[in-house]
Amino acid sequence: MPIARLAGAGMFRSCKDGRGSGPWTRSARASSREVDMSIRAVVVLAVLACSGAALGGVPALTIAPDNGFGTATMHPSTGEYVSVGGVWNIAAGLPAGTTIDIDATWRNFSSITEAPGGVLGGTRSDYDSELRFPMVGTGALLGFNRLITIPLMGGGGANLTDFGPRMAFAPLQLFPADLRRMQGQILGDPDFDLLRVTAGAEFGLPSPGQSALTDLGAGQWNVESFFDITYRIDFVGSPIGALAGLSGSTTGTIRMQLGVPAPGTLAMVGAAGLIGARRRRR
């Protein structure tokens, strides 16, 4: 897709056939700031691709089916979010100079219910998912290696994401997102009596994002999405494991990204998903 088409106000034009009413619409035209952002994003993606600056995981192409309303259901069950620009970590409560680094993926979305509502005036999604945590110790925990999966159960509002309005049937749909709630834990692990992850604005951990859908034809959408997730990891070590006698709570921020630009396009979110990727420990 040519950059001129991507950056033009046409990407936010309203549907003329009236099919875009309800939560899937967006009536506002792109501001000049959004246009400039999309162009800068394309440039930054090219620079990072050449420099190899991004750390963490590598997003993969994600394609989702049309949901019958001229868009795709979010989050897509066909993809996973990977850490870019850094990794999650546990530092608080560990010996000085020691961390547990986690190249996390957020995946296996199922039981997805997306309905009108949410703080962005579009839709709210409730779902089951999981965090896959490959853990690698440093410093005093050098040699510590674990792979732990933390279930994130939905259905009762424990895990929620809000999405902004999007224009149904538009070939390119760009809309904001906000992770409202993410929480899951495991108990009784050989190394962790407790390992809990919490994120999202409703827990005082703001985690804004952005998403884009590109129509591929034949009822298929290319999906790109990212979140700057502010997380808190609480742990209590097991008395029989490597973390015996240790406990702590670490807060940080990580960019999680799903999808890449559709083949033959330079969609904005695929590039913006790498801008400002960072890790911050508190």
Cα–Cα distances in angstroms (integers) from residue 87 to residues 20, 219, 231, in the given order: 39, 35, 12
Q: What is the token pair recorded at 220?
A: 């298929």
CB neighbour burial string for 62-93, b if at least 16 within 10 angstroms, e if fewer: bbbebbebbbbbbbbbbbbbbbbbbbbbbbbb
What radius of gyration do the chain's Cα atoms show? 20
Burial class (CB in 10 A: 0-12, 13-18, 19+), 206: middle
**Tens-place pLDDT, residues 200-232:** 999 999 999 999 999 999 999 999 999 999 999
The helix/strand/coil state of 138 is: coil
pLDDT digits (tens), the chain, 282 positions: 333 333 333 332 333 333 444 555 543 333 333 434 343 444 334 433 433 333 568 999 999 999 999 999 999 999 999 999 999 999 999 999 999 999 999 999 999 999 999 999 999 999 999 999 999 999 999 999 999 999 999 988 889 999 999 999 999 999 999 999 999 999 999 999 999 999 999 999 999 999 999 999 999 999 999 999 999 999 999 999 999 999 999 999 999 999 999 887 654 444 444 444 444 444
Helix, strand or coil, per DSSP, at residue 5: helix
CB 8 within 8 A of CB 36: no
Residues 6+ apart with CB under 8 A from 119: 162, 178, 180, 201
